């Protein structure tokens, strides 16, 4: 078992990572076909020249930034509240929304928006995607920030309260500064999850709010393409970087 | 004094109520209505949509989804356990190895699925290589079948199994393993009689994290099954888009939610461990 285990682990890590590495390698292949034909950045240039793609990327970025800001603020406040006070229905609901099958969350939001919009006269668009992303990101923020809160020394906070600071002031001046690495980590995660999401997004997006994963999805459905390899590589490297920073902050 | 913390909770509670609970209530309402002429919903109220769930056609799809999710979960336990065991025993390198699991855990599910399309399709890397080597004359049909869907699910959710397994293995008291060895048990016996039973919470937590999304999988069967391996997630999506039968889609999604929640309720006490 002593030697078998490392050998197995090597294979398992290869299984997890090789497919993406292969994708990256072929994204700089000058041939359109799956045989190596020399290094070239032509597929990256092709991606940059695609207006549709750039617009979708801009949409994804706008949605991710807006929903991350909202979810981080709301989730951080909620984490502190839940840290102070046991509210089983709220933690239960956050947990349930985290583990519900995405497709169910997605169609439920679609049905809800369509039902509400009959009375409000609104339509699906960027705003509905931002709302949906905010809703599912909050749970992740709460988990990450709550873990940080639990590792803090409670005596500082107690001292502030004993000295007459209000809860809000204590939170602002004592708790928040200590929480900042955790909050940053949570925000980076929320951003990644939002930028990546396809299933829920595709259901609640309007005609003018196509996101990058939506464009990539329809391309992947038609098969593989070297341009898609190039975009995938950029997204994986960029989001992977954010994840690593987030992990560092969480460990700090 | 206590009540003032409600202000911290209010925004999250409002969003949960409005964007999680209310949508489910709307879906529950829709599931009891009839399909409208133009794709909306109409009265009369009816249980017809639930009766249709018993149709053998949908029964078969539900069963297939269940089997697929169970198979993916079992494979993830089999493949994930040795990896988690390896990481938990790798001393200073532990963090590096852990990062190697965390990275795909959070990276784009869509892109990770696409990578396999690139590898498996007729003109993909595997087939091109085998053709070039002369091993095969015709490309092998590796993609667009249920094995491909299973592979996609296992690949997608393996990290979700490894992380909770690792968390339990990490907390395992090494004295118990030493005691087992001192008393003459061979490593294999220690593994099966001591380590595995102690890992039950981790296995259950991981199984939940894999089984639930697999049961509702939409993206993987659509992309890697090529419309041939239809799972319940695809039927739900189809009812809300192409078929425009929202009442039936609503009933189906509530059924899916119920199927997903049963295992959840069994494991809900372990949620601390389930969430990283």
More confident residue, A1 or B87: B87
Number of residues assigned to chain A = 252
What is the ipTM for the molecules in this complex?
0.91
CB contact under 8 Å between B108 and A232, yes or no, is: yes
CB contact under 8 Å between A240 and B103, yes or no, is: yes
**In a mutagenesis test of the A interface, which of B7, B81, B106 is the best target, namely the one with the most A β-carbons within 10 Å?**
B106
* Nearest of B236, B231, B252, B233 to residue B50 by alpha carbon: B252
Q: Report the C-alpha gap between B4 and A167 in whole angstroms.
A: 8
* pLDDT the model gives residue B274: 41
Provide DSSP, A71-138. Answer: HHHHHHHHHHHHHHS--HHHHHHHHHHHHS-HHHHHHHHHHHHHHHHHHH----SHHHHHHHHHHHHH
SS3 A67: helix
**In a mutagenesis test of the A interface, which of B12, B27, B82, B266 is the best target, namely the one with the most A β-carbons within 10 Å?**
B12
> For A19-33, how does the pLDDT look when each residue is reduced to its tens digit (9 = 90+)?
999 999 999 988 888
pLDDT level of residue B276 (50, 70, 90 thresholds) = very low
Q: What token pair was written down for A62?
A: 């706008």
HSE-up of residue B132 (Cα within 13 Å, Cβ side): 11
Instruction: Round the average pLDDT of chain B to a whole number and report it.
Output: 87
User: What is the mean predicted confidence (pLDDT) over A84-95?
Assistant: 89
Q: Which of A38-42, A137-141, A221-225 is modeled with the greatest confidence? A: A137-141
> For B221-231, how does the pLDDT look when each residue is reduced to its tens digit (9 = 90+)?
999 998 788 89
CB contact under 8 Å between A224 and B30, yes or no, is: no
Contact residues, chain A, for B159 at CB < 8 Å: 16
> For B132-164, how does the pLDDT look when each residue is reduced to its tens digit (9 = 90+)?
888 888 888 889 999 999 999 999 999 999 999
pTM score of the predicted model: 0.91
């Amino acid at each position: 078992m002593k030697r078998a285990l490392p050998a197995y682990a090597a294979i398992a890590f290869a299984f997890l990572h090789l497919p993406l590495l292969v994708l990256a390698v072929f994204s700089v292949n000058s041939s359109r076909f799956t045989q190596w034909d020399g290094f070239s950045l032509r597929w990256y240039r092709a991606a940059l020249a695609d207006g549709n793609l750039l617009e979708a990327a801009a949409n994804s970025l706008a949605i991710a930034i807006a929903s991350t800001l909202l979810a981080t603020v709301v989730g951080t406040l909620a984490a502190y509240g839940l840290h102070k006070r046991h509210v089983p229905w709220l933690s239960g609901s956050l947990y349930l929304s985290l583990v519900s099958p995405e497709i169910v969350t997605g169609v439920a939001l679609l049905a809800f928006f369509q039902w509400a919009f009959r009375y409000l006269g609104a339509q699906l668009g960027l705003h509905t995607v931002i709302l949906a992303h905010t809703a599912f990101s909050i749970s992740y923020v709460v988990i990450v920030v709550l873990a940080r809160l639990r590792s803090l020394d409670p005596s500082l906070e107690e001292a502030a309260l004993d000295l007459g600071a209000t809860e809000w002031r204590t939170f602002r001046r004592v708790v928040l500064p200590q929480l900042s690495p955790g909050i940053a980590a949570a925000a980076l995660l929320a951003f990644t999850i939002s930028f990546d999401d396809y299933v829920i997004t595709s259901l609640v997006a309007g005609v003018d709010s196509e996101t990058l994963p939506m464009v990539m999805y329809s391309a992947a459905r038609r098969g593989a393409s070297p341009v898609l390899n190039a975009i995938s590589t950029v997204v994986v490297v960029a989001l992977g970087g954010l994840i690593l920073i987030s992990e560092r902050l969480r460990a700090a | 004094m206590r009540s003032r913390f409600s202000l911290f909770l209010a925004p999250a509670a409002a969003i949960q109520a409005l964007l999680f609970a209310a949508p489910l209530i709307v879906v529950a309402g829709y599931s009891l209505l009839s399909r409208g002429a133009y794709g909306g919903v109409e009265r009369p109220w009816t249980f017809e949509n639930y009766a249709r769930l018993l149709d053998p056609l949908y029964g078969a799809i539900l069963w297939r989804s269940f089997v697929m999710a169970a198979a993916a979960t079992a494979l993830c336990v089999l493949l994930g356990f040795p990896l988690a065991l390896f990481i938990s025993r790798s001393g200073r390198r532990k963090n590096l190895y852990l990062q190697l699991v965390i990275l795909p855990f959070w990276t784009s599910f869509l892109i990770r699925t696409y990578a396999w399309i690139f590898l498996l399709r007729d003109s993909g890397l595997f087939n091109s290589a085998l053709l070039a080597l002369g091993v095969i004359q015709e490309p092998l049909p590796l993609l667009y079948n249920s094995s491909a869907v299973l592979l996609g699910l296992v690949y997608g959710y393996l990290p979700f199994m490894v992380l909770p397994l690792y968390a339990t293995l990490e907390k395992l008291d090494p004295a118990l393993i030493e005691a087992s060895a001192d008393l003459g048990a061979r490593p294999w016996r220690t593994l099966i009689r001591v380590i595995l039973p102690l890992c039950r919470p981790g296995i259950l937590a991981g199984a939940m994290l894999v089984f639930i999304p697999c049961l509702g999988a939409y993206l993987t069967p659509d992309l890697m099954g090529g419309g041939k391996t239809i799972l319940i997630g695809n039927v739900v999506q189809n009812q809300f888009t192409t078929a425009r039968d929202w009442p039936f889609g609503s009933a189906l999604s509530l059924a899916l939610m119920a199927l997903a929640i049963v295992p959840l309720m069994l494991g809900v006490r372990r949620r601390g461990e389930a969430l990283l």
